[in-house]
Amino acid sequence: MMKRDALKALTNAHAWVGLIISTILFIIFFAGSLSLFREDIISWERDPYFVSSESGASFSIDAVISQVVNDYQVNTHGYFILQMPTDEQPSTNIYFEEKIPAEEQQEHALDKQLDDHIDRHLIISPDGKVLGDGNAFDWGNFLYQLHYNLHIPEVGLYFVGVVTLFFFVALLSGVVIHWRKIIAKFFQYRKDGKKDKLLDAHNLIGVMGLPFHLMYAFSGLVFNLLIVYQISYAVVLYGGDQGKLFKAAGVVDVHLDESNVAIPVQGLDKLLLTAKLSLGQVTIIRMSIDHFGDESASVTFRGDDKSQFSTRKEVTYHIASGRELYLTKNNYDNDIRGGLAVIASLHFGDFAGYSLRMLFFVLGIGTCYIILTGNLMWLQKRANLRSEKQNKLGLQLVKAMTTGGFIGTIFATAVGFICARLLPIDLLDRSDLIGQIFFACLAASLIVSLLIKAQQQFAAIFLKITALALALIPVLDWLMLSQGIVVMFKAGHFDVLIVEVMLLSLALCCWLVSSRLFSSAEAVVNEQPISLNDLAENLIAEGIPSIKVTS
C-alpha cells in the first residue's frame, strides 16, 4: 500500500511539475532546436544581400584593421573581436566598440543615453571591403537568446536554469513511474484509444530520447546556473577568494595594464602565421584584441583541433613586440575548462556536422511533442472529472497556454522569419522591431486563446495558418532574392536551402497535426465520455496509480 501511495504521489508530482513549466519549457526547446542552425539562419537572412563568389584565401587582417581604423574611432577600453572567414562563410564579422565624440555624448546625455560608445558589427567581404551593418541581421541570435534567457534582462538566465532543474526532476520521476514496464511496453502504440495514443506517444518518445533529454537538462543546468556554483565554491572551498577559484579552474589572466601610449595596430598577419605554427593542426576561428590601439595591446587567436573531440586551443601575443604571453597545449591546459568545452560541444551539437544537428533537431521537436502530449493528457483527465469539482477558469487557462503558448510560439517564429525577409535592411532598429513583432504575436495568440472556448477547432485552424506562414517563407526567398541565392549555391553555400528545408518540415508537421485535430473534433461530437472508473482502471493497467471512485 505504501509503495502504491508513493508511486501515486510521484505521478502527481510529475504531472504538476510538467504542467507548471510546460509553456516555458516548450519555448526553450523549440527555440533551442532552431538555434542548432543559428549560423545558417544568420546566413539565410544576411548573405543573399551581400553574397560573394570570391574566396577568402587572400584575406588580410592588417588590411581589414586599417579599413576599420580609417572609418571608425575604436574604443581602446572596449572589446574587438574578428571571426575568421571559412570556406562555408567567406565573409568576415567584426565586433567592436566605437567611441562617441564628446559633442555627441552631450546630446546623448540629454537623451539619458549615458553610454560613451556604440556597439558595432561590420560584415567584411573577402577582399576587405565593408559590406554592411551586421546588427540589422540578428534574427538567428534572437532565437538563440530566447532559448537561454527568454530575453528577460539579468534574471532570465537563472529563470531558465530553474526551469531546467524542474525538467530534470520531471525526467527522473517519469523514469521511475514507467520503470516496471519500460521494456515490455517500449514499442506499444495503441492507435484506437485517444488517451492510450497520447500516453504511448509520450512514453515512447520520452524513453527513446532519454539520453538526449538528460544531456540537455544537465548541460543547461551547468550553463545557466554556473554563477551559483562559482559563488558556492568560492565561499566554501576558497574562503571567498574568487581569484583562487578562477586560477584553479584554469582561467589564465594575461592582461597587461594600459600604458596610454597610442600605437598603430599592425603585424597581425605575421602573428597569425606564427599562431598557426604554434597551435599545430588547428582551424583558427576567432581573433580578439585587448586594449586596441594601446602600446599594451595583445591579440588572442583561438581555434578548434579537429583531430580530437571538442578540443580548443588558443595563443596570446603582445602585438608591439610579438612576445608570446600564453599558449594552450591541450584544451586550455585544464580539466575543468576542457570539461566545459566538451559539455558545450554536446549541447550545441557542433562536433559532427549537419547529420548530428539534424538528429538533435528531430529530438528537440520530439521533446516539444512530449510536452504537448503531457498537457493534453492532463486536460483529458480533468475533463472527465465531475463538473462541480472543476475549476473552469484554471482549466481554460491551461487550454489557452497549451494552444496559445505552444502554437503561438511556432506562429510568432514564422512571422519573425517573414519579417526578417520583408523588412528593408536599412530600416532603423530593424532587429529590435522583429523581436517586438515576435512577442506581440505570441501575446496576441495567448489572449485570443483565452477568449475562445472551442479550443480544439481553434487549434486546428491556428495550426493550418501557422503551416501556411512557414511555407510562405521559401516563396518569399525566391521571389525577392533568387539571384543572390543562386550565386550562393554556385559558391557552395547552402544555408538558405538548409533553413528552407527546416521550415517546410515544420510546416508539414503543423499541417498533419491540424488535419488530425479536425478529424478528432468531428468525432468528439458522437463520442461517449469515458467514466472516471474506466480512466482509473486504464491508468492502473499502465502502472500509473489513480483512485477508483464510485458514482
pLDDT in tens, 322-334: 999 999 877 677 7
Kindly state the average pLDDT of the residues 505-531.
67
pLDDT interval class at 506 (50, 70, 90): very high
Secondary-structure breakdown of the chain: helix, strand, coil percentages, each rounded to the nearest 5 = 65, 10, 25
pLDDT interval class at 251 (50, 70, 90): low
At 96, give phi and psi (nearest 5°). Answer: -160, 170
Kindly state the average pLDDT of the residues 176-194.
61
According to DSSP, residue 176 is labeled: H
Judge whether 518 lies within some domain. yes
CA dihedral (81, 84, 90, 93) in degrees, to 10, reads 0
Judge whether 391 lies within some domain. yes
More reliable by pLDDT, 98 or 531: 98
Please report the pLDDT score of residue 520 as a whole number: 57
At 88, give phi and psi (nearest 5°). Answer: -75, -30
Please report the pLDDT score of residue 551 as a whole number: 33
Please report the pLDDT score of residue 352 as a whole number: 76
Q: Percentage of the chain surpassing pLDDT 70? A: 78
Please report the pLDDT score of residue 539 as a whole number: 40
Please report the pLDDT score of residue 519 as a whole number: 62
Q: Is the pLDDT of residue 541 over 60?
A: no
Q: Is the pLDDT of residue 134 over 70?
A: yes
Kindly state the average pLDDT of the residues 333-344.
77
- Domain residues for the domain of 18 are 2-45+352-541
Alpha helices in 150-236 (DSSP H): 156-178, 194-208, 210-224, 226-236
Judge whether 508 lies within some domain. yes
Strand order in the sheet with 79-83: 130-133, 117-124, 92-99, 79-83, 283-290, 298-305, 311-318, 324-327
Which of 16-30, 390-404, 529-543: highest mean pLDDT? 16-30
Give the model confidence (pLDDT) of 98-124 as tens digits.
988 766 655 555 454 446 788 999 998
Give the model confidence (pLDDT) of 61-86 as tens digits.
998 999 899 989 999 999 999 999 87
pLDDT interval class at 141 (50, 70, 90): very high
Q: What nine digits make up the cell of 493?
A: 553555400
- Match 586596441 to its residue by C-alpha cell: 292
Judge whether 38 lies within some domain. yes
Please report the pLDDT score of residue 530 as a whole number: 40
Q: Which of 103, 92, 170, 160 is nearest to 131 (CA)?
A: 92
Please return the burial class of 273, using the count of CB atoms within 10 Å of its CB with bins 0-12, 13-18 and 19+. Answer: exposed
Question: Do 458 and 517 form a contact (C-beta atoms < 8 A)?
Answer: no
Q: Is the pLDDT of residue 498 over 70?
A: yes
Judge whether 185 lies within some domain. no
Please report the pLDDT score of residue 139 as a whole number: 96
Please report the pLDDT score of residue 45 as a whole number: 94
More reliable by pLDDT, 225 or 47: 47
The Cα 276–Cα 298 span in angstroms is 17
Q: Is the pLDDT of residue 546 over 50?
A: no
Q: Is the pLDDT of residue 149 over 90?
A: yes
Helix (H) or strand (E) holding 311: strand 311-318
Q: Which of 107, 42, 96, 110 is nearest to 64 (CA)?
A: 96
Kindly state the average pLDDT of the residues 428-435.
93
Judge whether 454 lies within some domain. yes
Please report the pLDDT score of residue 497 as a whole number: 95
Kindly state the average pLDDT of the residues 311-328.
91
Q: At what angle do helices 392-400 and 430-451 cross, to 10 degrees?
A: 140
Kindly state the average pLDDT of the residues 453-457.
85
The Cα 345–Cα 341 span in angstroms is 6
Which of 124-133, 263-272, 322-331: highest mean pLDDT? 263-272
More reliable by pLDDT, 197 or 96: 96
More reliable by pLDDT, 383 or 375: 375
Please report the pLDDT score of residue 387 as a whole number: 55
According to DSSP, residue 262 is labeled: B
pTM: 0.83
Kindly state the average pLDDT of the residues 257-282.
91
Rg of the chain taking only CA atoms, in angstroms: 27
Judge whether 296 lies within some domain. no
Judge whether 294 lies within some domain. no
The least confident of 73-77, 278-282, 516-520 is 516-520
Please report the pLDDT score of residue 105 as a whole number: 57
The total of structural domains in the chain comes to: 1
Pairing of strands 283-290, 324-327: unpaired
- Match 520583408 to its residue by C-alpha cell: 422
More reliable by pLDDT, 58 or 345: 345
Alpha helices in 250-334 (DSSP H): 268-279
Please report the pLDDT score of residue 194 as a whole number: 53
